[in-house]
């Protein structure tokens, strides 16, 4: 892994020279091109969340991590979304106390030799949820997880499930379809090539040495409720591309302000910062549609794709705290428009 300045430069190069020229093609495709994933591996991007001893940034440099997400998403949001999920697996593996798990998996994950995704929504309220039952040989997983990106493009997936004691447990599971694990890819309005799926587990056996870690359910719920400030940089990536295509405007200052808010957000401020970023992306994409005019109605042009992506990112911001902030902003905007 190189230093932060080199990673920033490489992100800019990838976004402008590889991702953006192919964005329309990826938008129409059924999966992210293998060449995109291979280039991220070649440039060392799968290891940015790895500990420093493996050459990573450990995601402790929030400014660099956010910049990488924003710049890469400005080139291809779909590729960036799939790549981003990998780092949750890296961080979970690095923190694991299960004997042998860290040594077996972390270096390969950091090198991009093994690609990961996350399946955590089964721990949230609503739906069937995910349950884990302890056996002598390991655990049995049952339940359903929506919104798992990268299916059929990842090797392992970090699965969250509630065990019999009520604790939140996290497992490193092979991402291979079987009689006990199936994935149904969803036909999304945008980001279709992310292969975002619903995973269904039926008596799926996971070895004991694949338990990454466990913690009290209320601790996980409190930590997870505001969402991650880093995820807000996906929306900034869309807004960044819109601003570049629009040319100089007042939106540039709003982009800088939204970025500063995400970088400075503690858990209490994160929902508002996330909502600001998502609303800005939607408004910037709408402005770009109006600015470009009738051509924006053609499928495959940047403005209409960016507008659909901005809309999809609103869906990704529906945790209750973020949703309330978003609805407040959007309702105000609607009222102001009719006043």
Supply the CATH number for residue 144's domain.
2.40.110.10
pLDDT of residue 78: 98
Whether 339 shows a pLDDT value over 50: the answer reads: no
The CATH number for 33's domain is: 1.10.540.10
Please give the pLDDT value at position 52: 80
Q: Is 130 inside any structural domain?
A: yes
Residues 106 and 144 in one domain: no
Domain boundary among 111, 127, 152: 111
88 lies in the same domain as 121: no
* Crossing angle (nearest 10°) for helices 302-315 and 232-246: 160
User: Residue 216 — left, alpha, or beta (φ > 0 → left; ψ -120 to 50 → alpha)?
Assistant: beta
Tell me if 337 is assigned to some domain.
Answer: no
Q: Are residues 208 and 230 both part of a single domain?
A: no
Percent over 70 (pLDDT), the chain: 95
Looking up tokens 């992210």 gives 32
Do 245 and 302 belong together in one domain? yes
168 in helix, strand or coil? strand
Q: How far apart are the first and last CA of the chain?
A: 54
| Model pLDDT, residue 51 | 84
Give the other-Cβ count within 10 Å of 90's Cβ: 26
> Does 339 fall in a domain?
no
Question: In which band, very low, low, confident or very high, does the pLDDT at 337 lie, cut at 50, 70 and 90?
Answer: very low
Q: Compute the distance between CA of residue 170 and CA of residue 118 in angstroms, rounded to an integer.
A: 10
- Asked whether residue 132 falls in the same domain as residue 200, the answer is yes
Question: Within a 10 A sphere around the Cβ of 247, how many other Cβ atoms?
Answer: 8
Mean pLDDT of all residues in the chain? 92
Is residue 122 a contact partner of residue 142, using CB atoms and an 8 Å limit?
Answer: no
Question: pLDDT digit string (tens) for 12-25?
Answer: 999 999 999 999 99
Domain match, 249 and 196 both: no
- My answer on whether 190 and 245 are in the same domain is no
Residue 97 lies in a domain: yes
Partners of 168 in the β-ladder:
162, 215
Within the chain, where are the H helices? Answer: 4-14, 23-28, 34-42, 62-75, 77-95, 101-111, 217-224, 232-246, 251-263, 270-292, 302-315, 320-338
pLDDT(1) > 90: no
pLDDT at 11 over 60: yes
pLDDT single digits (tens) 172-214? 999 999 999 999 999 999 999 999 999 999 999 999 999 999 9
Domain that holds residue 293: 225-332
Q: Using the 3D structure, point to which of 74, 95, 111 is the last residue of a domain.
A: 111
d(CA 249, CA 280): 13
Measured between alpha carbons, how far is 25 from 29 in angstroms, rounded to an integer? 6
Residues 6+ apart with CB under 8 A from 218: none
Output phi, psi for 16, to 5 deg: -85, -35
Residue 338 lies in a domain: no
- Say if residue 334's pLDDT is above 80: no
CA angle 239, 326, 337 (to 5 degrees): 80
Q: Are residues 249 and 236 in the same domain?
A: yes
User: Do 241 and 208 fall into the same domain?
Assistant: no
Report the C-alpha gap between 90 and 115 in whole angstroms.
9
Domain finish residue from 44, 77, 111? 111
- CA 91 – CA 51 distance, rounded (Å): 9
Q: Give the lowest-confidence range in 109-123, 208-222, 316-330.
A: 316-330
338 burial (CB, 10 Å; 0-12 / 13-18 / 19+) is exposed
Q: What is the mean pLDDT of residues 312-332?
A: 86
Residue 127: the pLDDT is 60
Residues 230 and 328 in one domain: yes
Residues ≥6 apart with Cβ < 8 Å to 324: 271
**95 and 120 together in one domain:** no
**Spatial separation of the C-alpha atoms in residues 183 and 73, rounded to whole Å:** 25
CA–CA distance, 69 with 270 (Å, rounded to integer): 17
Are residue 151 and residue 197 in the same domain, yes or no? yes
* Domains identified in the chain, total number: 3
């Amino acid at each position: 892994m190189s230093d932060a300045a080199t990673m920033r430069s490489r992100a800019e190069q990838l976004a402008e020279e590889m991702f953006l020229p192919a964005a329309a093609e990826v938008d129409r495709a059924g999966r992210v091109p293998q060449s995109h994933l291979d280039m991220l591996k070649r440039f060392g991007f799968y290891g940015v969340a790895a500990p420093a001893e493996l050459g990573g940034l450990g995601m402790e440099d929030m400014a660099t991590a956010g910049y990488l997400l924003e710049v890469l998403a400005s080139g291809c949001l779909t590729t960036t979304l799939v790549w981003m999920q990998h780092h949750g697996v890296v961080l979970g593996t690095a923190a694991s106390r299960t004997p042998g798990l860290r040594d077996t998996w972390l270096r390969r994950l950091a090198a991009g030799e093994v690609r990961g995704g996350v399946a955590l929504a089964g721990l949230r309220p609503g739906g069937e949820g995910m349950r884990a039952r302890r056996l002598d040989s390991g655990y049995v997983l049952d339940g359903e997880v929506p919104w798992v990106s990268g299916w059929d493009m990842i090797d392992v997936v970090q699965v969250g499930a509630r065990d019999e004691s009520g604790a939140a447990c996290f497992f490193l599971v092979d991402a291979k379809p079987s009689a006990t694990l199936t994935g149904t890819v969803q036909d999304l309005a945008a980001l279709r090539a992310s292969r975002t799926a619903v995973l269904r587990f039926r008596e799926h056996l996971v070895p004991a040495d694949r338990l990454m870690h466990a913690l009290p359910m209320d601790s996980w719920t409190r930590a997870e409720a505001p969402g991650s400030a880093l995820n807000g940089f996906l929306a900034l990536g869309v807004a960044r591309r819109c601003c570049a295509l629009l040319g100089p405007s007042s939106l540039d200052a709003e982009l800088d302000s939204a970025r500063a808010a995400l970088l400075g957000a503690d858990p209490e401020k994160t929902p508002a910062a996330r909502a600001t970023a998502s609303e800005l992306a939607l408004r910037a994409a709408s402005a770009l549609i109006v600015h470009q005019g009738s051509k924006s109605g053609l499928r495959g042009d940047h403005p209409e794709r960016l507008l659909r992506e901005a809309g999809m990112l609103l869906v990704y911001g529906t945790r209750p705290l973020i949703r309330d902030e978003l609805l407040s902003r959007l309702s105000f905007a609607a009222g102001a428009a009719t006043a």
